[in-house]
Amino acid sequence: MSLILEKLAALGLVLPAVPTPVAAYVNCVRSGNLLFLSGGLPIDGDVKVIGKVPGDVSIEQAKEGARMIVLNRLAVIQDAIGSLDKVRQIVSLTGFVNSAADFYGHPQVINGASELLVEIFGDKGRHSRTALGAAALPLNVAVEINLIVEIED
């Protein structure tokens, strides 16, 4: 078993099935040693984090949605390269929060994803980041996250 999958198991986490894109895009594009991952949504089967933060969805629920997205994106990476052990560095994370106009806690929400990546990958999980608010997101999800990841050959 891979070291990263062992780490996930130790944390009580399991990768979901690789999501099928819902429009005209692919989950991941490789250019050299970089993977550019499309935006992931907090949807795993019947579990969905839907609505505006903090009105419909609490900050804590949105953070959990961000963590859900990380697992979703890790499933995409594993599918693309065969093993999460080949991740050299999480380079960049961009997070969008479906937020009320007067909400300014976007970084708090996206911390759910950032903290989990560091918990899983250690220093390889530390990344640059942008956390933004949006008037609306696809399917009315509370959070959307994309990643750029450096991998080994």
The CATH number covering residue 123 comes to: 3.30.1330.40
* pLDDT, tens digit, 9 for 90 and up, residues 124-133: 999 999 999 9
Mean pLDDT (the chain, rounded): 97
Separation between Cα atoms, residue 55 and residue 83, nearest integer Å: 39
- Domain enclosing residue 68, as ranges: 3-151
Q: Is the pTM of this model over 0.95?
A: yes
By the 10 Å C-beta count (0-12 exposed, 13-18 middle, 19+ buried), 62 is classed as buried
Q: Across the strands, what pairs with 50? A: 141
* pLDDT, tens digit, 9 for 90 and up, residues 2-12: 999 999 999 99
* pLDDT, tens digit, 9 for 90 and up, residues 56-101: 999 999 999 999 999 999 999 999 999 999 999 999 999 999 999 9
pLDDT at 1: 74
Considering its fold, how many domains does the chain have in total? 1
